[in-house]
Amino acid sequence: MAKTPDRLAAYNAKRDFALTEEPKGQVGAAQGRKFVVQKHAATRLHYDFRLEWGGVLLSWAVTKGPSPDPSEKRLAVRTEDHPLDYGTFEGTIPKGQYGGGTVMLWDNGTWAPVGDVDDGLKKGKLKFTLQGQRMQGGWALVRMRTKGKRENWLLIKERDDYVDEDPDALTEGYAVSVTTGRKMDEIAAGAKARKPPKPAPDRSRKRPAFVKPQLATLVDSAPTGDEWQHETKFDGYRCIASLGKGGVRLFTRSGNDWTDKFQPLVSAFDPLPCNSALIDGEVMAARISGSAFSSLQRALKSGDPLVFFAFDLLELDGENFRKEPQDARRARLAKLLSGAPSGGPLRLSEHVVGHGAEVFAQACKSGAEGIISKRIDAPYRGTRNKSWLKVKCTRRQEFVIIGTSPSDKAGRPFASLLLASREGGALRYKGRVGTGFSQSDMESLAAAMTARKTPPVKDAPDDIARTASWVRPDLVAEVEFTEFTDDGIVRHGSFLGLREDKDAEEVQIELPQEDVMETEVDGIRISSADRQVFPDAGCTKGDVARHYARVGERMIALAGHRPLSLFRCPSGIDGQCFFQKHDSGGMPDALSRVQIAESDGDEADYLYATRPQSLVAAAQMGTLEYHIWGARTDRLDRPDRLVFDLDPDEGLDWDRVKAAAFETRDILAELGLKSGAIVTGGKGVHVWLPLRRTRGWETIKLFSKTLAHVMAAQHPDRYTATMSKAKRKNRIFIDWLRNERGSTAIAPYSLRARPGAPVAVPVTWAELEKLEGANRFTMSDMAARMKSQCPAMALQGDLQTLSDGVIDALQDMADR
């Protein structure tokens, strides 16, 4: 019978065990599938990678150490098999001995082969999965074709959740022994092993139940005064830590148990002298490389160290502190954490009382995301409220991923992600993000997305939807960007990472609220000034009031002293909205009243504005739009304004509308009448002209009706003069009905209650020619607009008369 070869003969022959403390080689009984990595400072620093198989440790010397980057293939030279006992060796091999130098136990754990091990060793391709303290996930050893006795292999990371784009993240990220906590120089000097961590305390009180965390309201600037304390806004994952009987549980902001994902932090709470506690805080990566958020993503994948920044104490040893003031809870937390090791994984967040502007400026200078400001006298409530405010240095939002755009580059699964947010219960398209991805990001995203056939949104632009690949809207992306366009689309976005702690169903646009308290605009008190009125545009009730204060003088000159129809949306455009023309009680005194006889003979109080404060006061009552009569209150029977509202059918393009406006202008010019244009903030244009008050309503109505029917008769394929939807198909309705007694038209410079907060604006004909839509003006354009001459104001001074000659000329047109 052939003698079984001694697998450790080479190992024993190389060593003098009288001089080295290395274990003497002997084949051992199987202990499971263990692996070990020993950092070895011999003639050249390298990492010895060893796998238990057949009673020995299969061994390779990895010259640069293992890399978590799949594109980084590390040379691994096959060396002699080592005894199983070598898996616990850490110390110094004497100089002059084989492998003389310092050895550190750098990693250990278990491994699981993929396929037959002996066959893989023979063919030169061995795949396996590691569950170590540092190396995790799929790996492969692949033999190179080389001459000579030396076997050169490559150690390669498989693509999975443990990939890191930093090729040296493992070797540079871990510098101490996994068993003794010593560094290489400490091992060489013979320093004693550091004390192992204490076992988890046996806490006797039941763990507190998860509570919803308090959330902060986004504002534009830090609050002033010593009633506020300010903290750095951490760029990580919100976490509620529950301590008590059975150990620690770590919950996300939505209540998901992420104890396993945050496993490195579990022992961090052991030093706390309590039987139970509920602590609010934020989980961050211990090492920041690039952005803090992307560093955390990498740390969670690789098992790198984490830090828990504690900032609130909700319960302690059965006592609930959520009703106590912020500063009292903070003092209790500081006392509880006073025994935690300085610089350890559990830390107390820093704060400053007062000096909000200075704290914010310093935070931005240091590269932080922003600050959180908290009222020191406020209790803790599990909602988003105004006792916690956040101010951001950069614009960042969470968006739902709804699809991808194709890439023309080889190896890239997509060019960009398509984004959406939830508004009014439905997803709305918010643009694309095509930068900020590493190759591993793109591959992991592609693997995580689930394809679907139909788009999750209804408003994706045709050119984007045509080539899009749609996915199930269940992933949330964190995106940094410069601004939203007027249409609410992300501009210059950069991908930061996935928000696994947030539910896609809850993702909405978070916009700054400038006025978190009651404010005053033009002498008018505005309550709930921070209430979002136009959610997609980020405009608040206070913004609406300031708009009407800004444009008020011009609006009064053009629309003042006219009966109004107010379009009110007290809860914003997504809430209930309604028209109001009568004073039914409760309207502000800044608005004036005039009695007008109704068609049934009864009189009612109508509202009208005489000064800018009238408009601001109506805004306080939730008014967004102002619609005006064509007559003033001093002579309601004599109109002084004539309007043609060019209202396009659905689907008609803007160029058709502009052409209709110019054609209306030209026909009026043939009659000797000079007209102006107002883009409505919607889809259409008002062609209008000012009148001398020489004619009554019947004449004005008949004139406008005749002109509309003339245009419809001349071009029946383009225009209609009737409201019938059937006859309006693919045509523009020339709405002459605005010129009846009691009818109204949108006032110049009025807001429109539509997404984007557009404004109805008078324009010159030259401007109209170049304009790209009727809704292109917003509140932000008005400051500059007020510095230039108003076309409507200029035209209003040129009063015109519907003389008998003008009326006869129009009749001649109709008779042709």
Who contacts 145 (Cβ-Cβ below 8 Å, separation ≥6)?
Answer: none
User: Residue 782 is which amino acid?
Assistant: M
Who contacts 66 (Cβ-Cβ below 8 Å, separation ≥6)?
Answer: 37, 47, 49, 74, 135, 139, 155, 157, 170, 171
Are 540 and 515 in contact by the 8 Å Cβ rule? The answer is yes
What is the distance of C-alpha 501 from the center of its chain? 13
Q: For residues 569 and 575, what is the distance between their CA atoms, to the nearest angstrom? A: 7
Q: For residues 59 and 746, what is the distance between their CA atoms, to the nearest angstrom? A: 82
233 noted as active-site residue:
yes
Q: For residues 179 and 549, what is the distance between their CA atoms, to the nearest angstrom? A: 70
| CA dihedral of residues 106, 109, 113, 114 (deg, nearest 10) | -90
Which value, in Å, is the radius of gyration of the alpha carbons in the chain? Answer: 37
Strands in 298-382 per DSSP E: 306-316, 319-320, 346-348, 352-353, 370-375
What is the distance of C-alpha 216 from the center of its chain? 15
Q: For residues 346 and 208, what is the distance between their CA atoms, to the nearest angstrom? A: 19
Dig out the tokens for 706 from the structure.
Answer: 């005749």
Place of tokens 């505005």: 526
450-475 burial, b if ≥16 CB within 10 A, otherwise e? eeeeebbbeebeeebeeebebbebeb
Q: Decide: residue 726, CB within 10 A, 0-12 exposed, 13-18 middle, 19+ buried.
A: exposed
Are 173 and 69 in contact by the 8 Å Cβ rule? The answer is no
Are 127 and 214 in contact by the 8 Å Cβ rule? The answer is no
Q: At what angle do helices 612-620 and 541-559 cross, to 10 degrees?
A: 140
Q: How does strand 719-720 pair with strand 732-735?
A: parallel
Active-site residue, selected from the candidate residues 34, 39, 157, 233: 233
SS3 annotation, 705-736: HHHHHHHHHHCCCCEECCCCCCCCCCCEEEEC
Place of tokens 């605005």: 738
Q: How does strand 152-157 pair with strand 469-481?
A: unpaired
First to last CA, the chain: 122
Are 438 and 413 in contact by the 8 Å Cβ rule? The answer is no
Q: For residues 733 and 582, what is the distance between their CA atoms, to the nearest angstrom? A: 29
Q: For residues 283 and 306, what is the distance between their CA atoms, to the nearest angstrom? A: 7
Place of tokens 């092993």: 193
Residue 243 β-bridge partners: 248, 277
SS3 category, 266: helix
Are 651 and 730 in contact by the 8 Å Cβ rule? The answer is yes
Q: For residues 540 and 572, what is the distance between their CA atoms, to the nearest angstrom? A: 9
Q: Helix, strand, coil: what percent of the chain each, to 5?
A: 20, 30, 45
Are 116 and 128 in contact by the 8 Å Cβ rule? The answer is no
Q: For residues 300 and 250, what is the distance between their CA atoms, to the nearest angstrom? A: 14
Q: Decide: residue 46, CB within 10 A, 0-12 exposed, 13-18 middle, 19+ buried.
A: buried
Q: At what angle do helices 804-815 and 654-670 cross, to 10 degrees?
A: 120
- Enumerate the active-site residues: 233
